[in-house]
Every structure is written in structure tokens, then in C-alpha cells.
Structure 1
């Protein structure tokens, strides 16, 4: 059966892809309450599970089919609804923390091997950068942190922004959003920053999630003022604080906003195609930036 648009049972004007894990009724981000597994609706949390289950069963009609079977609810971007909408967020957070611990244990040698840099100065490093073919630095730098405050701020932001986006987009789409945002930040840094300037951190990906949050809230007709204020504050820090690679922030923000827009605004009948093309176009833009800078540094 063709996927059907599903709206929150408490806010019928709000399309959603999130369901209560107890009664299975669709709930919007405003109504969902975190549980040990997934999210629950206010009635189930307050002890009204029996009534909620009855209401959910009543939606099946005379056919006797359950609501989930009849409507096949998906996320707003067409992804599958999972029992743990934080799984990818947890994995990404764990990778960042594991790399940070590894750097603490090994020291500057590992840091120099993973950090994003166009080309190292001749001495005393005797290493190669992205321009010399070490493309992996564009990815490894996304999971690399040095200062405790740096990783603490980024991981808190990931934990705050990640679960709602993962629940709304689905695991695969959320992972694509995160990685393309991080790569967008790395690519713009590589393109515009000095070739010997080292850059590291998940900030590009975090700014991509922030841009995606704004797109999602606009799509669901939520109040935009809180996310606009947060974005403005972060941009203020980006351009006023020292030792911040503003290129990574802006690159991640642009990439994340574009990817999220394509995901949540794709026509239902061509959703997978439009989403794939959107991701491919953003990836192509990243490749072009990397290619232009590499030619500039090696010619």
C-alpha cells in the first residue's frame, strides 16, 4: 500500500513520522516525551496507556487491521521509524569520544596524522597533507578534538540536535546529513583557509544539524524564533572568537541546510529520487571544491 501522510493526533495540522512506542499513535516533536526506548505520548506517560491503546485500536475500523498495518507510517522524510531514534547519534558521539581518548593516549603524532591540513610546511613535519593525496584527512578531522571544552561543546550540541533529527529523518538519512555536513565544512576549509592551517572538530557537522533543524521546524510550521536566535548566536561566536575555522562552520551550515531541504520537501511520489539527487549534488559540490584547491596547490 502507498505510504500515507500521518499527522499528530493532538495537532492534526502537523505532519509527523514519529509514533508513541506504547500506543502507536503519531506524535509531533512537541508532544513526544523521551522514554527508555523511543518516545511516548503525554497520555501514556501520565498513565493513560489503556485509553490510548483503545483509541489506537479504534483507528483500525471494521477491517480489524492495526493502525500501523493500515497506514504504514514513515518519518516525514520517508525513513523507517525505529525503536531507538538515538542510535546513530550515540554511535557518532562514541566515535568522537573514542578518537579524543586515542589522541590523549598517543599524543601529537596521531593528531598530526589525522588533522585537516592542505599541505604541511617542509620542516619539521615531513608529512603530506590533502593536496599530496591524503584525502582521508577531510573525514578524520570531523571526528578529531584536542581541547576538553571543544569536544564537550560539540558533543552536547550533537546530543541535543541529533535525536529529534534522527527521529524525523530516519537513520540512513540522518547519517547522510551528518557526514555531508562535516565534509562540506572540511571542503570549504580546505578551499579557503591557508594551506598550512590545521583544522579539526565536528563543528561543521554540528552547524549542518543546526541548519537542518531550522529547515525541519519551518517545514512543520513551528516557531522559528528559538532556532534563529541560536543560529545567530553561534554565527556571532564564529566570527568574533579567535582560533575558530569559520569556513568549517559556514560550509557545514550550507551543506546541512541544502541536504535537509531536499529531504523534507521532496515530493512524495519521487521522494527517494529527489533525496538521492540532492545528496549527490551536494557531494559533487564538495568534490569540485576539493579538486579546485588541489589543482591550485599542486600546479
Structure 2
């Protein structure tokens, strides 16, 4: 379920949304490296910034999902997406998967907005990725027929480690992780197909 054996073209064909997200966040990271005032302006306008959201810059609830602070941040989130997104995209379908990914990320950023102080800034796909873990957790708890026991144990173990690391690592948007996870759980009942092939 979490081991990718497809070649490049097959991966793109089977998982178009996952591919598009991976490509988009890489392109944005590369573009934001360009030392031009216009690029810096766009970077400043798209990061998560609670004060900006309070002033009506609502797009900051969405754009941070695709922006990363550095290469290691980008690499870690991209690897997580590469490993855990394809199975859900196949299971849910492209539109439902996109809805749960962006929806969870936005819910994570809304939680960040209401709980963190006005000057708080943040970037990263972690809230959306934790939303995917939320869907997996929903499957483990309520839709056991969609995933076998071995994969369920893998997910529960990885989720437990990820939640623990959320509170151990420095400079982590804890609220995005928690609310993203809860968002994935909440979005699963309406978005997860009633009948779906299990893994």
C-alpha cells in the first residue's frame, strides 16, 4: 500500500493530484529562491500570517500549504506525500482526495489563526498531510474493511510517532498538525466513498 513500484509515467497517470501538488510545491520553492523584490513581495503575501488574515487576507489560509521554509522541510513533506497520498487518491478519487487535502490544510491554518498570537507566521504542508493521517485513522477505526491489519498497524505506529514528534521538535506549527488531523477525521465520512477497493 505504501511501497511505490510505478514508473514515472504510470505514477503521473494514476495519481495526478499527488503529482501536481508535488510539482507545485517544488516550483514555488525554486521560484522563491530568486533574489528579486517582486519574488520577495509574493513570498511575503502568501505565507501564513495571522495578522494578515485578521486584516482580510483570507488566501493566507490556503497558500501556506504549498510553501516551505527550506529544502529539508520541502523534502520531508514531499516524501510523506509521496508515500501516503497515492493510496488515498486511488481510494477516494481525485476530487475527493483534493478536497480532503486542501480542506485539512485550511482547517489546520484556521486552528492556527484562532489559537496562535497575531504575529505568528507559518508555512508548510504538514497540516494537510496530517489530514491524510486523519483519513487513515478514520479507516482504521470505522472502515476496517478498506485496509488490512498490517497496513493499519503501520499507520497507527507512524501516526503515534508523528504526533509525538510534533511536541518534541522545535519550530513546529503544533496547531496545524492537531487541527489538520481532526480536519481529516471530520471530512472522511462525507468524502470517503461508501464502496471502495480496500488495500
Q: TM-score, normalised by structure 1?
A: 0.57
Partner of 2:6: 34
Q: Note if contact 1:85-1:171 (Cα within 8 Å) is conserved in structure 2.
A: no
Contact 1:161 1:213 in 2 (8 A): no
Among 187, 191, 196, which residue is 1:259 paired with?
187
Unaligned runs of 5+ in 1: 1-28, 40-82, 120-128, 269-299
Give yes or no for the alignment of 1:206 onto 2:138.
no
Query: What CA distance in whole angstroms lies between the structure 2 residues aligned with 1:155 and 1:221?
Result: 23
Q: Which residue of 1 aligns with 2:17?
A: 88
Q: CA RMSD in A?
A: 2.3
Gaps of 5+ in 2: none
Deviation at 1:108, TM superposition (A): 4.4
Relative contact order higher in (CA < 8 Å, ≥ 6 apart): 2
Distance 2:27 2:9 in 1: 24
CA distance in 2 between counterparts of 1:198 and 1:204 reads 14
Conserved 8 A contact 1:238-1:249: yes
Whether 1:234 and 2:162 are equivalent positions in the alignment is yes
Paired with 1:203 and 1:236, the residues of 2 have a C-alpha distance of 14
Please give the per-residue CA displacement for 1:47-95, whole angstroms capped at 9, x wherever unaligned.
xxxxxxxxxxxxxxxxxxxxxxxxxxxxxxxxxxxx9221110001111
Paired position in structure 1 for 2:175? 247
For residue 162 of structure 1, report the CA deviation from its aligned partner: 1.2
- Kindly indicate whether residue 82 of structure 2 is the aligned counterpart of residue 159 of structure 1: yes
SS in 2 for 1:174: helix
1:148 aligns with 2:120: no
Q: 1:99 to 1:37 in 2, by over 3 A?
A: closer
Give the Å deviation of 1:258.
Answer: 1.7
Aligned residue runs from structure 1 range 86-235, under 5 A: 86-106=15-35, 108-119=40-51, 129-217=52-140, 219=143, 220-223=146-149, 224-235=152-163
Pick the structure with greater CA Rg. 1
Distance 1:118 1:112 in 2: 13
TM-score, reference length from structure 2: 0.84
